[in-house]
C-alpha cells in the first residue's frame, strides 16, 4: 500500500470534514426555534465531525503525512453561495436545512469515492467506513425532514 496515496486521500477527507464543520457553524440559531426536535441530532453531527477530524489527523500522522487541516476550495465556494442564497431566501430555516442535506450528500460521495479508490490501507478503510456510516445516518435524519416539506 502506497502511504502517499493513502495520505492524499485522507487529506481530501479531512478537507471535506473541515468543510462540514465550517458549514455547521453557519446554521443560524433561529433554525432551532422552528425545528427544535432536530437540535440534538444536529449537535451530534457537529460532535461526530470533530471526532472524524481527530481520526483523520491521527491516521495521516501515523502514515508519516502532514495533515492539510484546511477546507476545500469547492467547500468555500459553496459556503459563499449559501450566504448569497440566504440573503434572498424567504424562509431561511428551510433553506439552511436544505444546505445541510446538500453538504451531507457531498460528504457521502467523497467518502464513497475514497473507499472506491483502492488507495486506503486496511485501518484507514475501516475508519472511513465507520465515518461513512455516521454520515449516512445524519443524512437520513435531515433528508426525512426535507421530504416532509
pLDDT tens digits along 77-129: 555 555 555 555 555 556 667 777 788 888 999 999 999 999 999 999 999 99
What 8-state DSSP symbol labels residue 71? -
Q: Cell numbers 464543520 correspond to what residue?
A: 21
Strand, coil or helix: what is 104?
Answer: helix
| pLDDT single digits (tens) 2-35 | 789 999 999 999 998 988 888 777 776 667 777 7
Alpha carbon distance 124, 129 (integer Å): 8
Rg (CA), the chain: 16
- pTM recorded for the entire structure: 0.82
CA nearest to 13, candidates 41, 46, 49, 42 = 49
Amino acid at each position: 500500500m502506497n502511504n502517499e496515496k493513502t495520505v492524499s486521500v485522507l487529506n481530501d477527507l479531512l478537507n471535506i470534514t473541515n468543510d462540514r464543520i465550517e458549514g455547521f457553524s453557519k446554521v443560524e440559531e433561529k433554525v432551532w426555534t422552528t425545528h427544535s426536535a432536530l437540535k440534538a441530532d444536529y449537535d451530534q453531527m457537529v460532535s461526530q465531525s470533530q471526532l472524524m477530524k481527530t481520526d483523520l489527523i491521527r491516521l495521516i500522522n501515523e502514515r508519516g503525512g502532514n495533515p492539510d487541516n484546511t477546507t476545500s476550495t469547492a467547500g468555500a465556494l459553496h459556503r459563499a453561495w449559501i450566504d448569497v442564497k440566504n440573503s434572498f431566501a424567504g424562509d431561511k430555516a428551510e433553506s439552511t436545512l436544505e444546505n445541510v442535506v446538500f453538504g451531507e450528500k457531498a460528504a457521502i460521495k467523497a467518502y464513497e469515492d475514497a473507499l472506491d479508490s483502492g488507495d486506503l490501507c486496511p485501518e484507514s478503510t475501516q475508519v472511513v467506513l465507520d465515518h461513512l456510516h455516521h454520515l449516512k445516518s445524519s443524512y437520513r435524519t435531515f433528508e426525512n425532514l426535507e421530504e416532509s416539506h
